[in-house]
Structures are given as C-alpha cells and as structure tokens.
Amino acid sequence: MTARILCILIFLGSFQLNAAKIPLTGDIAEPLNITSQTEFFEDVKGTSEVNSLSHENFKPLKGDFMLVPFSDNALWLKVSLKNEAKSGQEWILQYSNELSEDIQLYRYDSTKSAYILADTWDINTSKKRNFKGQEPYFKFTPARQETIYLRLKNQRGIRSSLYIFPASIYPDVLLDYQGERLFLFGLLAFRLLLVLTLGIFVIKDKGFRAYSLFILIKTFGYWGLINVMNPDFVTSVEIGNKVNFLFYASSPFGVILFSLMVLPLEKLPGWIKTGFYILLALCTLSHVMVWVSYNWHYVSMGLWVVLMTSVFSIGSFVYAACRKLPIQNFYSIPFMLGIGGYVLMNFQVLTGIKIPLALLLAFILLVAELLVFIFFLGRIFSQTQMKGIIADQQLENERIQSEKLMELDNLKTSFFTNISHELKTPLTLISGPLAELRKRYPEEKLLDMMQPNVTRLRDLVSQILDIQKLDSGKEPPFIVKADLARQIRLQVLSFESLATAKNMKLSFGQNKEEFEAYFDDDKLNKIISNLLSNAIKYSPEVSEVLVNVHYDIRPKKVSISVADSGFGIPEKDILHIFDKFYQVNSQKHQGSGVGLSLVKELVDLLQGKIEVFSNTGVGTTFLVELPADEKTWQNFVDEESKPSADFIIPEKTSKNAQSHSGEDQRHDEKKLILIVEDNPDMQEYLFEILHEEYDLIRAFDGKEGILKAGMEIPDLIITDLMMPVMDGLEFSKNIRENLASSHVPIIMLTAKSDKTAKLQSLEIGIDHYLTKPFDPDELIGVINSCLSNRAILREAFSQNVAEPALKIEKETNPWEKAFIAELQDFLEIHYQDSSLSVPAIATKMNMSESQLRRKLKSISSYSPNEYIRKFRLQKALFLLQTTETSVSEIAFKVGFENLSYFSKIFQSEFNKAPSEVPRS
C-alpha cells in the first residue's frame, strides 16, 4: 500500500502548500483549467466523511491533468473558490473524462453548518446529459468564498482535468467540444465505412480485409472509451462500466487478428505466433474476469493486455521489416501508427508516468494514420487494379493455353487413332497365327510371353478407337433392358482368376440378386473392366479388392464402388487421372493412361457420375453412378436387340438346375459344345459368350461331364481344371480313353498357371490350355480354330475312309488313332460280309448305335451305313485298279449283292461307272 501511495504522490506531482483561492471573475470567457489549483486527498479505506476532511492532509495537484490510478480508493478533490462575479451567476465545474464512474459534489450548507452532498454524476447519469459521451459537470452558484469537495471513485485508471467556467458559456463550450467530437466521429465512421465497403466489395485482398477488421474493432473500441457504446437503457453503473470495457479493451482481438493474417509467420520464429496466442488467451481471460466481477485488478489486467499486445505487435512488424521479410506496408504502417496512440495513452494510465504532450502525440498519430492510409489507398487501388489486369491476362493466357492443349490433345488423339487403325489389321493377323503356333508348340515359352502383350496391344488399340468414337459423338448409347445384377455379376466374375493369379481376394456384393433395368451392356462392361483391372494392377499381392453394387428403385439407378487397398493416388494427381494419356507413375507400372479417360467419357455418355477417393498407401475407391431407368433411356433402347429369352429370364444356376433355356436344343447347323464347370457364375459367363453361336450342354463336374459327353458326343468340350467329384484332368483322360469321345477337342480353362498342370493336360491330349481371365474373343478364336482343325481332319478322312491319309495318322491323338485302327481292322475283316450291320460294329466298338452314329458323323461326317458303303466302294475301286477281277466279282467281294445297285452308287461316288475305271 505504501508503494501505491508513493506512486500516487509521483502521479499527482509535488506539494504546494496553501493553495490559493481561485478567483471567479466576470471576464472568464473560456473554460479555466484549475487542475493545478486543486488539492487532493486519497481516502484509502473509502470511509472518510466530508465533514471531517478538514483534519486530512490535502496536497496540491500539479500540471494540467491528473492521472487517477486503478484502485478502489476514494479520491477527494478540494477546490477553493473566490466568487468575484456578479451575484447569482451560475458556474460549471467540469471534470473532463467520460469514463468517470462515480463523482459526488459536496458543498457547504450554512443552514446546517455542514457539508452536504449537492450533486452526483455516474457513468449512467442521463438526466443532465444532452448527448452521449458528454463529460461530467456540475452547475452551481458559488458563494463569495467557498470550498467545495469532489469525491471520485474510479476502478479504471483515467486521465482527466478539472475546469471551471460561467454557465452562460456552456453552450459554446459544448458546441466546441461537440464539434471536435463530431468531426472525429465522422472521420472515424467514414473511414470505417470506407474500409468495410472496399474490403467487402472492391479490394479482395487478405491484408486489406484484415485491416478492415482491425479498424472495425478499433473504432468500436474508441466509442467504448468515450462512453458512447453504453446504451441508455442500462441503469446499473456496474453494467455500464462492463459494457465500456467490452469495447475499449477489445482492441487486442483486432491487433492479433491483423498481425496473424499479415505477418509472414512461416518465416518468423515460432515464439511470435505463440506470443500472439498467449495474448489472445489473456485478453479473453480479462474479459471473462471483468464480466464476472468489475474491479480494478481485472480492468488493469485488460489494459495491460492492450498495451502488451500493441507493443508486441509493433515489435513483430519492426522485427519482420528488419529481417527484410515481405510485409504489406500499405496496411502495416497505418496499423502501427494507429496502435501507437493506444500505447501512449495506456502507458500513462497504467504506469502513472506522465508523458508531456501525450494527448497531442496520440492525436498526431491518429491523424498520421488516417493520412498515410488515404495516401496508400491510391496505391492499394492501383495495386488491386494491377492485380486485376494480371489476373485477366493470366486468365486469357490460360484460355489460350487450354485451347492449345485441346488442339494438341485432339492432334494426339487423332494421331493415335490413325496409328491404331493401322495397327488393328496387322494385330489381328498376328494374334490368329499366334494362337495356332501356341497350339502347335505348347512348350514354347516365348509364345506364351507374346500372348499377353498381343492382348494388351489389342485392348489398347480398341480403347483408343473407342475414345475417338466417343469424342466424335459417333458412339450413341446402345441400351438393352435386361437383368443388370446378373450382367454385373458375370462381368466382375471374369476377373476372379486375374485376382487369384495375383494372390488377391476379389469380394463382390450386391443389394439385389436380380434387377431388371436399362443399360448399355458393352459400355458398362468397359467401365467395370477398366476399374477392376486398375484395382488389381495397382495393388500389391495378397490384398483385397471389394466391388459393391447398390441398386436403387426410384428412380432406377446403379451405384458401383470398386475399392482396393493398394498404392493409392497422390493428391496432386487425382485431378488429372481422367485426362487422356495421364499416368501417375509411368515407370513403375505398365499402362497407357487411356483406361480412366475412356471410363470418364463412357460415364458421361451414360449420363452418370464418377468419383474417386484415394489415400496413398491406404487404397483407392472409384464410385460410379449410372441411371438405369426407362425414362432416361427410352430413346436409346434397341428394339431389335431386345434380349433373347435366355438373357432376360435370369435362371438360377445351381448344381441341380436343369438345362439352361436354349441348352440342349440341337440346331443342325450349330456345333455342340459341352461346358464342364463347377462355378455357376462362370457357367453363366461362358453361356453368355457362346450361346449365340453354338448349341450348349453343361455339366457341373467331371462325372456329369463324362455322362453327357458319352450321350451327346459334342463337337467340343470346355472344361475347368479344378472341380469337385472329378477334376478336369481325370475327366479329360476319361474322354480321351472313351472311344466314343476320344476325338473331341478339349479346351481347358483354368486360373492355375502352374506348369505341371499344363504339361499334364497336354499329355492327355488337351487341345488348348487357356488361363483365366481369358479374353472372350480369344476363347471364341480358340474354339473356332479347334473346330476348323476338326473339319480339316474330317475332310481328309472322308476322302478315303478305307485308307486314311497320312495327315490323319499324324494329327490325331493316340486314342483316336486307336479307334480308327480298330474300326479299320474290323471293317477290313468284315466288309465282304453283305450282312455286316451297324449294331455289329457298335457292339464291336463297345458303343451304342447312336454313339457310333455321332462319333462317325463327327470324324467323317458320314452315318455308319454311309461309312460302310464308302469303305466298300473305296475297296472296290482299289480292287478295280489293282486286279483283273471282274466287276461283278468285285461287287460281290466288297459285300454288294446287287450289281446294278453297286454300279449306280459307284457311279455317283466316283463320277464314273466301274467299267470305266482304268485297269492295270
């Protein structure tokens, strides 16, 4: 407490004994500053009575103004007046600080011979106030000789002066004062409006906006300082004080915000930012505390924060400037000038150290701030204009650049399209013979290596051609109405083996098993294939790819998500992955950057949406949403291509299911293929690929396959390697060993790429070994090549059934050779027997008659009877050419009993009569 009193002594100046009485003369025409003629006494306990003040030790004030410290003490001011003016003249005693919280005026009442409370003023006194922000005043008529006392109670430290003047000049004083105030008020309000309007609508610059915000807070802060923000309806002095505090102590918020937004913090030491955060916390804390309880401790803390924030901020800007860091001077300089005034004023009241001319300096700083700001405003405008011009120029440049890029892109696409067209034919010519070579030289590894590359090239070429078609608008949607769920299931399934080959798990889920909808099957397939092959390609081994399909009914649409837990796509690349020929890491993975751009164009064409979510090292998810309702696609539905019954009716394929519709209906012109496959979805898939061109029968394991093959003797068998009950190898072995089916070409489809399985299957005479995932075209190519080989053999065999050509000997499998040899041997022995019958041959060959019929039909295209007849006729021809035996004898010898019938059929077989055959 002694320290405080000592402080006050320093604040209030030195002693001056016996202060003279202040003469009030009639010629006082200006407010008279009587601060230095006033005496004071600090009532530390706040209990002193006015009538006992004569015992107190009053000391004179010094200087034009006094600094009232932050405290809850009462401060008594004593003014001795000598009224020399005409009697009855009213005088005004003015205490010049709007933030005066509580003042009481005591005058001597001679009737009571005591001092009494004559008048009061508090922060909310409205009865005497003509306008907001008016300074406290008391009007009275002093006696000839009068000593008056003022009792001040102020928690907040203030700076003030005491004036006295005749009441008659008060209107002029008010006008002067109010004029100044209004001028300043107008200036500040105008600046506030200006910066706000400019910041919001014109200068869209971060620095300027930060400055506008600072000005907003600062202006309200100033209004808080002159008690303008304290609303009239507030009657409680405490709340009035708190409201004022709320405004005048908020400037740190503006200062901190501005500093954080404008200072190049990333280049400054970290403690600067931390310092601002600490000050922000302290400022908030002081506000909370003042609102909890209004007392001088918290109020002074709030003002210390204001002072420290201002100093810290100025220091930071100066530091940044000294380090030549880029700071926006246009805002920073007026900002620093603006808070300079605050520093001065707060420093005085907080420390009690009087700074001569502080008020004038603060005012100069304020004016300087305004002038500098106005001066810079022109620069800010021209800078903004410049920025606008540069931005426009940049925009124009970007437009030109993007046009050029587009041109280049078109050029690139058309170049690739032309090349692709050129490549297409030679590629087709390579892939056909390559398939043939792989068949001929199954152990040649180089050929195996060539195949995937040929397929890749072919895919790439067709993708580029697809993009070009889409770009040129030549590829409209080709919509069918069908079971979308089934199609997607099949499409996803065809990737299972690719995933298995990479040791990956492909999980698939749909919210419906059947969903009749409108969609473009081919394009949908391309979308799913690209997304899935990317998911597999860009994931490490032993990871999982998850395909989830969600069908919505109203309106009908499908959402497909393909999620992998692979390498992911870096954020900077995500924007570009749908660009043509864009690859993220072209060195690391094989690719061309075409797939996703095709996907995007297809999705756009199908009026859908595609989104990608990716995290490097975590995985990638592609989400495709496509409309599948009739309304969207009614103009595109292809009536003619209305899917066949098999296509529309989704038959549940299960082990016990009966034959698929369309299956087992033999069409003579179509070849019959037996599919032996345990996976129902794979069966469906194969069915889908093959049902239009071939008649199909199906079996779910090797055993059933053997039964069906024996019964039907198909033209070709497609079998899986791994199956329950009886696997593909055993099944194929059985087929080969069974005379009835030993000739049937077998294609082995399997995910297994291990060598022994392959060698084993080739040992048993498998004609082709295709690793899943197979390309449907490749499968059809292989089937056709098998069937045409068979046709060549059949043709060769039919030429001479009695003496099979060398080709047959060379190109048929051992079991087939054995069958032919056995048949030949039997006929050789029995052809002369005119009673030789088909059942006898069937019995001999251990087959049923119908098996024999089918078998002979497929190896020679003859029925058994035709076959025997041919055999006999060829024998007859041989005998005619090599012996001298008579025609009738020869006819008899080869089993014909009727000579004229023999001659007739001989003629039709060889186009000449037996007698015309040149004899040796």
Applying CB under 6 A, the residues found at the interface with ligand ADP are 530, 534-535, 538, 564, 566-569, 577, 582-585, 591-597, 620
CB of 597 to ligand ADP, least distance (A): 6
Nearby residues of 304 by Cβ (< 8 Å), 6 or more positions away: 350
Q: Which is nearer to ligand ADP, 477 or 595 (CB)?
A: 595
CB–CB of 522/619 below 8 Å? Answer: no
Residue 474 CB, shortest distance to ligand ADP, in Å, is 22
Shortest distance (Å) from residue 446 CB to ligand ADP: 25
Q: How many Å apart are CA 805 and CA 823, to the nearest integer?
A: 15
**Cβ distance to ligand ADP smaller for residue 564 or 688:** 564
Q: CA–CA distance from 602 to each of 470, 526, 528, 645, 844 (Å)?
A: 8, 8, 11, 28, 62
Output 571 or 763, the one with its CB closest to ligand ADP: 571
- CB count within 10 Å of CB 238 equals 15
CA-CA distances (angstroms) from residue 703 to 708, 775, 893? 9, 27, 45
Q: Which is nearer to ligand ADP, 336 or 596 (CB)?
A: 596
- Beta-sheet pairing, 162-166 with 516-519: unpaired
Q: Which residue has the tokens 């995500």?
A: 574
Which residue, 531 or 877, is less far from ligand ADP as judged by CB?
Answer: 531
CB of 603 to ligand ADP, least distance (A): 13
**CB of 463 vs ligand ADP, minimal distance in Å:** 9
Complex with ligand ADP: residue 36 or 592, whichever CB lies closer: 592
- 570 or 724: whose CB is closer to ligand ADP? 570
**Which of residues 197 and 585 has its CB atom nearest to ligand ADP in the complex?**
585
Contacts of 723 (CB under 8 A, 6+ apart): 676, 677, 678, 700, 701, 702, 731
Distance CA 421, CA 475 (A): 17
CB of 565 to ligand ADP, least distance (A): 10
Residue nearest to ligand ADP (CB): 591
| Residue nearer to ligand ADP on the CB measure, 598 or 873 | 598
Least distance to ligand ADP, CB of residue 600, Å: 9
197 vs 662: CA distance, rounded Å: 78
Q: What are phi and psi of 813, to 5 degrees?
A: -80, 165
Q: Coil, strand or helix: which one is 146?
A: strand
Closer of 173 and 467 to ligand ADP (Cβ)? 467
Q: Work out how close the CB of 254 gets to ligand ADP at its nearest, in angstroms, rounded to a whole number.
A: 48
Mark 780-807 as b/e (b = at least 16 C-beta within 10 Å).
ebbbebbbeebeebbebbbeebbebeee
Q: Nearest 5°: phi and psi at 24?
A: -105, 100
Q: How far is the CB of 459 from ligand ADP (least distance, A)?
A: 10
In 19-83, beta strands by DSSP E = 22-24, 32-33, 39-43, 59-60, 66-68, 74-83
Handedness of CA 397, 398, 402, 408 (dihedral sign): positive
CB of 587 or CB of 900, closer to ligand ADP: 587
φ/ψ of 748, rounded to 5, equals -100, 120
Q: Are 151 and 74 in contact (CB under 8 A)?
A: yes
- Separation of alpha carbons 628 and 611, rounded Å: 18
The distance of closest approach from Cβ of residue 570 to ligand ADP in the complex, given in angstroms and rounded to an integer, is: 9
In the chain, the N- to C-terminal Cα span, in Å, equals 154
**What is the closest distance, in whole angstroms, from the C-beta atom of residue 491 to ligand ADP in the complex?**
17
Phi, psi of 891 (to 5 degrees): -55, -45
